[in-house]
């Protein structure tokens, strides 16, 4: 795929990109601000399974976008942490916040006839439950989790599956993510890799991965679509 110009400030350039007709979104850090909830769930799971000591949440945060068991393997932490982490994530789901501008963005994209998907490092049931709790699950044609593909991000499988379900045109599809794994997954699927900069992402690392387009607020995505 041809690289598109990158916006390092102000609105995205989007030059050379055909009008987008399908969007694949990451979830955490793109649609929702779940960092406080994840921190609490991780802290409780660490205390329950590992015991005393400072939970290495900052390191965990650097691996966001990956499937939770994969992060545990990378960090050398017990896979048994997944159970209490998931339990606490469900319990605290009502505290997750939708980013400002996201509901309006989703409504306008649907009004313009775009097909929308979520492809997340979460499990599919947990992602669908969270989006249902927040009242925006109905905006998406498909919501997929990492447990529903053979290889989670940074592999392209989850993006390719979402595109297949939507019947998406690769030349007119973008993946919006806040992690390097999202960009890698998009590129592996042969679509435009878009960086979302409005969450708690590691901006330096994300920009170093050279995303095709950079968005500073959700509404900027509309400039890549037809009115």
Just list the catalytic residues. 26, 28
* CA 186 distance to own-chain centroid: 11
* Start-end of H helices in the chain: 35-49, 57-62, 68-75, 82-91, 102-111, 124-134, 157-166, 180-188, 203-208
C-alpha closest to that of 122 among 29, 23, 221 = 29
> What is the separation, in whole angstroms, between the first and last Cα of the chain?
25
Taking the C-alpha atoms of residue 183 and residue 189, their distance in angstroms, rounded to an integer, is 10
């Amino acid at each position: 795929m041809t690289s598109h110009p990158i916006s390092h400030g102000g609105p995205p350039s989007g030059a050379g990109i055909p009008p987008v007709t399908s969007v694949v979104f990451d979830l955490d850090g793109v649609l929702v601000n779940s960092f406080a909830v994840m921190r609490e769930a991780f802290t409780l799971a660490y205390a329950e399974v590992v015991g005393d000591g400072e939970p290495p949440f900052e390191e965990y945060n650097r691996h966001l976008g990956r499937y939770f068991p994969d992060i545990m393997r990378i960090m050398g932490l017990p896979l048994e942490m997944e159970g209490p982490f998931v339990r606490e994530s469900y319990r605290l789901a009502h505290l997750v916040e939708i980013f400002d501008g996201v509901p309006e963005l989703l409504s306008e994209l649907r009004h313009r006839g775009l097909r929308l998907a979520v492809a997340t490092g979460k499990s599919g049931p947990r992602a669908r439950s969270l989006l249902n709790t927040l009242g925006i699950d109905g905006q998406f044609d498909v919501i997929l989790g990492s447990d529903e593909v053979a290889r989670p991000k940074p592999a392209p499988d989850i993006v390719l599956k979402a595109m297949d379900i939507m019947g998406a045109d690769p030349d007119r599809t973008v993946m919006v993510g806040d992690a390097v794994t999202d960009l890698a997954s998009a590129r592996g699927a042969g679509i435009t890799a878009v960086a979302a900069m409005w969450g708690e992402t590691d901006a330096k690392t994300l920009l170093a991965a050279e995303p095709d387009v950079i968005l500073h607020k959700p509404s900027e995505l509309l400039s890549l679509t037809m009115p």
